[in-house]
């Protein structure tokens, strides 16, 4: 491929020179001989500062979003109107437009994205489809699994994953689409066949500023990201923002479906939650079918409904859904049980918003009541260098849903952990609940476990699948599930049961 072919269709303001292109890169450290380096302004740095470094490493072409940069001699050169849009077009051209050859479902929302994409990916695979899956926990490329550095990767990585998936026989892709990715146009040029909205609750206002701006970013998925709008929009009618999303979807999508716990085009009837899973009748426009899922709780019923609606729109028959749903596996760090034979339940969950804390504590409360007693002990913290306004809201949610709260640290980053805790306390103080403050998360987990009695549920909230803790001193290994298991062993519980760490099933107790 030559330079002219690479920049075809991009918003190029001027260009000069030509060269054979053997790769594309936006990180100068990864440039190799024969590459084109795309220099663009980002949130934390300006790639144009590294143009000469890229040329030293062998770049033969430069695409820049800076009109003030002077073309370097002997190097093909182009000025683009918008860096990330250009990256999207160059990446698509270099990898021969793989996204256009896949049927892509995008899932957006504050909570539920990961579980919904996992369920949908599982349903498609059980029906014999080969898929790519891109999300917070991990990426799937056909039958391979790789760690996920970002919920939604940059366009270059996205097109590379899609190309690899196509080469391995994939026909479908399922992906979480974050509000950051939509606002930053990381998914510009990606055509979505189906778009799913799970919910919108307070989060990421450090980036978006207002809830309206947050909504507008997510609504972009239903309008088309530099492409035609999705063919189908699927909306959670139980969410308070549903009406606004419905207006956008009805204007842009060919078909729009709603889902909800008790009403909607897709809804549940005769729901029954047990210690081993959830039973309900799945009601759809095509009929109804009894369902048993190993996932538990009302929130997961909504996730199942969203995934079922998307699966049916991707051609999965209703009759096959019942069997497929029986075999689904929850993603790591989502209501994940950790057991060493203790007489109480320890759960690791990714809940890191006030809405998510309400959901997870409500689920735990349902179980202790169903079991005839027991308390809900919730450990959580709030992330540093993030939206401070949600901190007291999370404190209030945890206090309202728990019998004991252990307030600790959760990726304080550059902030003082105690300062973050002080921001949480006013919300927690609005509830009559007893709480304990321990900034050291490992010690805090020890306190939560030490306070647990027969029949209690201990929730370790916030980090979920994450394997590190980020502080002003650096990034350190930290896995809530592993630390919990070590804590239980130190307390004298040593029975190694199946799924004692990273159990993806749903049994409680």
What residues are designated binding site?
28, 109-115, 151-152, 178, 184, 186, 386, 410-413, 462, 466
d(CA 249, CA 257): 9
C-alpha distance across the termini of the chain, in Å:
59
Distance in angstroms (rounded) separating the CA atoms of residues 24 and 453? 57
The annotated binding site for ATP is made up of 109-115
Distance CA 31, CA 49 (A): 14
For the beta carbon of residue 389, count every other beta carbon within 10 angstroms: 11
Cβ pair 118, 148 in contact under 8 A? no
Give strand ranges (E) for 275-334. Answer: 277-284, 287-293
Q: Where are the alpha helices (DSSP H) in 342-440?
A: 354-370, 390-401, 417-428
What are phi and psi for residue 459, nearest 5 degrees?
-105, 125
Work out whether strand 287-293 and strand 277-284 pair parallel, antiparallel, or are unpaired: antiparallel
**Token output for 164:** 């690899």
Burial of 267: CB neighbours in 10 Å, binned 0-12, 13-18, 19+? buried
Q: How far is CA 34 from CA 1, 26, 31, 95, 296, in A?
A: 11, 14, 9, 16, 52
Rounded to an integer, what is the distance from CA 216 to the centroid of its chain? 18
DSSP state of 20: B
As given in the structure block, the two tokens for residue 407 are 């307030």
Residues in binding site for meso-2,6-diaminopimelate: 386, 410-413, 462, 466
Q: Please state the φ and ψ torsions of residue 451, each to the nearest 5 degrees.
A: -90, -5
Phi-psi region of 164 (alpha: psi -120 to 50; beta: other; left: phi over 0): alpha
User: Scanning the structure block, which residue is given the tokens 């001027």?
Assistant: 14
Q: Which of 81, 60, 48, 65 is nearest to 17 (CA)?
A: 60
- CA 211 → CA 389, 394, 423, distances in Å? 12, 17, 20
350, 463 Cβ separation under 8 angstroms: yes
């Amino acid at each position: 491929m030559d330079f002219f072919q690479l920049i075809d269709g991009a918003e190029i303001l001027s260009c000069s020179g030509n060269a054979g292109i053997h790769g594309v890169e936006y990180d100068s450290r990864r440039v190799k001989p024969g590459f084109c380096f795309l220099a663009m302004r980002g949130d934390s740095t300006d790639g144009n500062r590294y143009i000469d470094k890229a040329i030293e490493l062998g770049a033969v072409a430069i695409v820049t979003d800076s009109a003030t940069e002077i073309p370097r001699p002997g190097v093909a050169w182009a000025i683009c109107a918008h860096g990330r849009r250009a990256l999207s077009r160059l990446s698509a051209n270099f990898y021969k437009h793989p996204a256009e050859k896949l049927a892509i479902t995008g899932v957006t929302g504050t909570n539920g994205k990961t579980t919904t994409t996992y369920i949908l990916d599982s349903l498609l695979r059980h029906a014999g489809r080969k898929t790519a899956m891109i999300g917070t926990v991990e990426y799937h490329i056909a039958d391979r699994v790789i760690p996920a550095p970002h919920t939604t990767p940059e366009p270059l990585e996205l097109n590379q994953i899609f190309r690899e998936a196509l080469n391995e026989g994939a026909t479908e892709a399922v992906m979480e689409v974050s509000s950051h990715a939509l606002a930053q146009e990381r998914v510009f040029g990606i055509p979505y066949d189906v778009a799913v909205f799970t919910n919108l609750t307070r989060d990421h206002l450090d980036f978006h500023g207002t809830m309206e701006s947050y909504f507008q970013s997510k609504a972009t998925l239903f309008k088309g990201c530099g492409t035609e709008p999705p063919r189908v929009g699927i909306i959670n009618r139980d969410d308070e923002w549903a009406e606004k999303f419905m207006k956008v979807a009805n204007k842009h999508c060919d078909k729009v479906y709603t889902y909800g716990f008790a009403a909607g085009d897709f809804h549940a009837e005769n729901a029954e939650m047990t210690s081993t899973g959830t039973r309900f009748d799945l009601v759809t426009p095509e009929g109804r079918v009894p369902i048993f899922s190993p996932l538990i709780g009302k929130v997961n019923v909504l996730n199942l409904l969203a995934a079922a609606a998307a699966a049916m729109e991707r051609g999965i028959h209703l009759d096959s859904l019942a069997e497929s749903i029986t075999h689904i596996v929850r993603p790591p760090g989502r209501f994940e049980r950790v057991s060493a034979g203790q007489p109480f339940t320890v759960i690791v969950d990714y809940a890191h918003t006030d809405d998510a804390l309400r959901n997870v504590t409500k689920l735990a409360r349902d179980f202790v009541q169903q079991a005839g007693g027991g308390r809900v002990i919730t450990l959580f913290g709030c992330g540093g260098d993030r939206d401070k306004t949600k901190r007291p809201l999370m404190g209030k949610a945890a206090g309202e849903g728990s019998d004991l709260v252990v307030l600790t640290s959760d990726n304080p980053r550059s902030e003082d952990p105690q300062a973050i805790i002080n921001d949480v306390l006013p919300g927690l103080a609005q509830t009559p609940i007893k709480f304990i403050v321990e900034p050291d998360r490992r010690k805090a987990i020890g306190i939560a476990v030490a306070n647990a009695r027969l029949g209690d549920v201990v929730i370790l909230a916030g980090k979920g699948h994450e394997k590190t803790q980020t502080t002003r001193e650096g990034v350190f290994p930290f896995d809530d599930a592993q630390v919990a298991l070590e804590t239980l062993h130190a307390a004298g519980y040593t029975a190694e049961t199946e799924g004692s760490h990273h159990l993806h099933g749903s049994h409680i107790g």
